[in-house]
Structure 1
Amino acid sequence: MERSPWPGRTKWVTRSRSESAESFRSSVTRWSMSSPSTMSPTGSGTVEGSSATSQVPPLMLQLPGYPRPMARRLQRQWTGFTSGVAALLLAACSGTAPAASAVTAAPHPTATPTAVGQTLNPLAIDAMRQRDYPGSDLLIEQTLAPSGDYRRYVASYQSDGLRIFGLLTVPGGRRPASGWPVIIFNHGYIPPTVYRTTERYVAYVDAFARNGYIVFKPDYRGFGSSQGRAVSAYGSPNDTVDVLNAVTTLQRFPEADPNRIGMWGHSMGGNITLRALVIDPRIKAAVIWAGVNATYKDLLENWHPTGGDRPPPSFSGGWPRNFIDEFGTPEQNPAFWDSISPMAYLPDITAPIQLDHGTADTEVPLQFSQALAQQLTADGKNAQLYTYPGSDHNIAQGFTLAMARSVGFFDHYLKG
């Protein structure tokens, strides 16, 4: 490694930027031409768990069917939209499960709706696929006290011209010839005013690092020391852009294997993870804990953020109302809302996915993960769902088992 031009920081000598950018472009080109389903060792689309989860409960069978990409989505029309619900969707990862009466009935195909506007919204999946994610050199900003099994650093990189910070852990011991496999760790919503780079998720990161993974936990814009303003991950592409630039940055990191990159996400981070999966085929495996993953209609109607972790209106920026004012409701303009929803692009996912969710989660409905698993299975994807009886939003009561499954999943797909 060489010294950074900034005092006190270290710049790692990395793979060339053009090499990493070309890797991203070529992978997207290959992916867009052909996106075969990834099969599990026991068959495609397995859904399993510590309790019976292979069938979605009758409650969720009423949820809207998740549409195919745009060419197949235009025949969909949402039914029913509760007035005034936009204010309910702030960009939190906390909410209460909906009552059975609040679940949306399945839509019926109708005449093709007309999309509003001719220019793709920056949040649209197709727009995000057209972007470049060049990443940057990884700068070591601070060396933290080491663990007996791994080294820890506060590091930074560039994303959209902003300096984004994160927690970097690097395993000890002899590095594999190809480099260590990598896990990009997408944390859930924590109020930016109290978020600290080295706090929260300590046990999660520790488990992966001790099992031979480089772990990088980006702070997102406006979190910790990261530049930029914190805005909603559900109404802005910023967090996903930062995460995908982190993928490129870690591909260039000399101790990492650029071809073995996985992603882990919790709650809001689970939403970011799913969005990243439908955009970028470089992600080879993903685990999502209690992800906020549902159609925008269901997020608006059936997910009601409450409690102490509810973000202030300034964080949300009022995007639901702004979107509805400009584009109409999901009922009025399904083409637009589908265009920004990763749920509409599930058939394009190539990476295997593991979903974990506690049955006592009062922040994000268990039904969201159940419906996602069902749709992934219907699309022939390699998806596993594990439920944890009595466990909360953090799966605290089933943490040891859930982490063992997560480590085992990444071991199989990133080390196997």
Structure 2
Amino acid sequence: MQKKWLLFGALAVGILASGGWWYVEYGIGWINPRAKNKIEISRDLAKYDFDSLRKRLPMVSEIEILGPIEAVEDRRKSMGLKYENIFSTREISFVSNGKKISGMINYYPERSSLSPVVIMIRGYAEPVGYYPGSGTWRVADRLADMGIMTVSLDFLGYANSEIGSTDVLEARFEKVPAVLDLIASVKNLPFVDSERIGIWAHSNGGQIALSVLEVTGANYPTSLWAPMTNPFPQSVYETLEEGSMVKEILDEFGKHYDYRRYAFENYYAWINAPVMIHQGTADEWCEVEWQEEVVNGLKEVGKDADLYIYEGDDHNFSKNWEEVVARDLGFFERWF
């Protein structure tokens, strides 16, 4: 069940089976699968298909730089982490679609020159115990130590962000606009070099990152760690049990919308950035074959894409973490 739950998370539809009830993330609440719940799909989801997102104007907001993040500081101390480059870590807040989203920034208050920046997109996380920077801070620290500013976002429903949509599918779809709005807002920071922006993403964040590259068509060099790239909606259908409420939701969605217009694998031609993918062979959640299909698909349309495979490594690269980070540092140094 845990594996199925994470796969649902790839579509931002986290469902936990417990005591005969399902909890659906993002403020949707509890659903009794034994009751005859009426399935209703929003008729306003067309704005999230790739063609519509490409026409959407990003919503620029002021990024508020707030106080230190105690949870990150405590973890650095417990791990004995020290860095040569002096940077500040702070919680941030910005607005997307009228809702506040929290996050984390590593930046250089005393630097006189403009800084390149990497946008950090985490994978699935449970809301309980979550703090700004969860899932990204360790890699963000290494990038910052090399002189690259980083900005992570928590997404709606996490940390100090406002609650997300109560529609199961919209809760998934609204993540891409959130990243688009963050990037547009980051460009307005006075110490950012808006011509040197990259993306780092892990797990479920990988699918979001690819979508952002397609929608923007921008040259954002991107590194993906074990990205969840099994296509939508197969990635959900393949893990469902008979009678699943999520299957009914997806079936109903398919009656009103074309799945293909929401699937990143149909828009590789729109990408204009180099993409590097890391994948371990012992990953319980993501498969090497998925990443091979992505890289081959990108190369077929003339894109710059590389895949690095780590024998026997897991979803978080616990065996080869330093090697993967070193490749990332070299990758961003090259493209910046």
* TM category, shorter: 0.7 to 0.9
Q: Which residue of 2 aligns with 1:69?
A: none
1:195 aligns with 2:130: yes
Cα distance in structure 2, aligned partners of 1:325 and 1:88: 22
- The Cα of 1:149 is off from its aligned counterpart by 2.2
**Distance verdict in 2 for CA 1:391–1:89, change over 3 Å:** closer
Aligned partners of 1:267 and 1:373: how far apart in 2? 16
Which structure: larger Rg?
Answer: 1
Give the secondary-structure state (helix, strand or coil) at the position aligned to 1:355: strand
Query: Which residue of 149, 160, 163 maps to 1:228?
Result: 163
Residue 284 of structure 1, CA deviation? 2.0
Map of 1:299 onto structure 2? 235
Which stretch shows the higher mean deviation, 287-296 or 265-274? 287-296
Deviation at 1:88, TM superposition (A): 9.7
Match of 2:55 in 1: 130
Matches within 5 A, 1:30-109: 90-92=8-10
Moved over 6 A (4+): 230-235
Number of aligned pairs? 289
Q: Unpaired segments of 5 or more residues in structure 1? A: 1-85, 95-117, 307-312
- 8 Å CA contact 1:87, 1:321 repeated in 2: no
Match of 2:285 in 1: 363
Name the residue aligned to 2:67: 142
Deviations 1:354-380 (A, max 9, x none): 011111101122221111111111121
2:165–2:171 CA contact under 8 A, matched in 1 = no
Deviation at 1:234, TM superposition (A): 8.7
> Structure 1 residues 93, 401: closer, same or farther in 2, change over 3 A?
farther
**1:237 and 1:339 mapped to 2: Cα distance?**
12
Structure 1 residues 224, 347: CA separation in 2 closer, same or farther (over 3 Å shift)? same
In structure 1, the residue matched to 2:119 is 184
The 1:198/1:300 distance shift into structure 2, 3 A limit, reads closer
Aligned-pair CA distance for 1:261: 0.8
Q: Is the 8 A contact 1:92 1:305 kept in 2?
A: no
Q: State the TM-score, normalizing by the size of structure 2.
A: 0.77
Q: 1:359 to 1:93 in 2, by over 3 A?
A: farther
2:31 corresponds to: none
| 1:383 CA displacement | 0.2
**2:93 corresponding residue in structure 1:** 156
Aligned partner of 1:384 among 306, 311, 317: 306
Counterparts in 2 of 1:183-332, with a 5 A limit? 183-229=118-164, 236-302=172-238, 304=239, 320-328=247-255
CA drift at 1:126:
0.7
1:277-306 superposed Cα distances (whole Å, 9 cap, x missing partner) = 11013352111111111322531354x499
- In structure 2, list runs of 5 or more residues that go unmatched: 13-42, 74-81
Deviations 1:85-144 (A, max 9, x none): x999622489xxxxxxxxxxxxxxxxxxxxxxx987233101111212122111112145
Higher helix share: 2
Deviation (angstroms), 1:229: 2.2
Look up the match of 1:73: none
SS state at 2:182 partner: helix
- Call closer, same or farther: CA 1:320–1:288 in 2, change over 3 Å: farther
Question: What is the rounded CA distance, in whole Å, between the counterparts of 2:254 and 2:319 in structure 1?
Answer: 42
SS in 2 for 1:149: coil
Q: TM-score normalized by structure 1?
A: 0.63
In structure 2, what is the equivalent of residue 169 of structure 1? Answer: 106
Per the alignment, residue 337 of structure 1 pairs with 259
Hey, what's the Cα distance between the residues in 2 that align with 1:283 and 1:323?
A: 33
Alignment partners' CA distance in 1, 2:155 and 2:260: 25
Partner deviation per Cα, 1:64-91 (whole Å, 9 max, x = no partner): xxxxxxxxxxxxxxxxxxxxxx999622
Q: Distance in 1 between matches of 2:100 and 2:218?
A: 23
CA distance in 1, matches of 2:332, 2:247: 35
Task: State the secondary structure of the residue aligned to 2:105.
Answer: strand
Mapped partners of 2:89, 2:200: distance in 1: 18
Aligned-residue offset at 1:184: 0.5
CA distance change for structure 1 residues 173 and 403 in 2, over 3 Å: closer, same or farther? farther
Q: Greater shift after overlay, 359-368 or 213-222?
A: 359-368
- Shift of the 399–163 alpha-carbon distance from structure 1 to 2, 3 Å rule, reads same
In 2, Cα distance between the equivalents of 1:305 and 1:255?
Answer: 47
The alpha-carbon deviation at position 172 of structure 1 amounts to 6.8
Report the aligned-residue RMSD.
Answer: 3.0
Change beyond 3 A, Cα 1:406–1:87: closer
- Work out the CA distance in 1 between the residues paired with 2:60 and 2:132: 20
More strand by share: 2
Q: Is the 8 A contact 1:155 1:168 kept in 2?
A: yes
Counterparts of 1:250 and 1:92 in 2: how far apart (Å)?
25
Letter in 2 for 1:388: Y
- How many angstroms apart in 1 are the aligned matches of 2:274 and 2:292? 16
**Which amino acid is 1:380 matched to?**
G
Q: Which amino acid aligns with 1:156?
A: S
> Conserved in 2, the CA contact under 8 Å of 1:92 and 1:189?
yes
Cα distance in 2 for partners of 1:296, 1:199 equals: 25
Separation in 1 of the partners of 2:171 and 2:95? 22
Pick 1 or 2: higher relative contact order, CA cutoff 8 A, min separation 6. 1
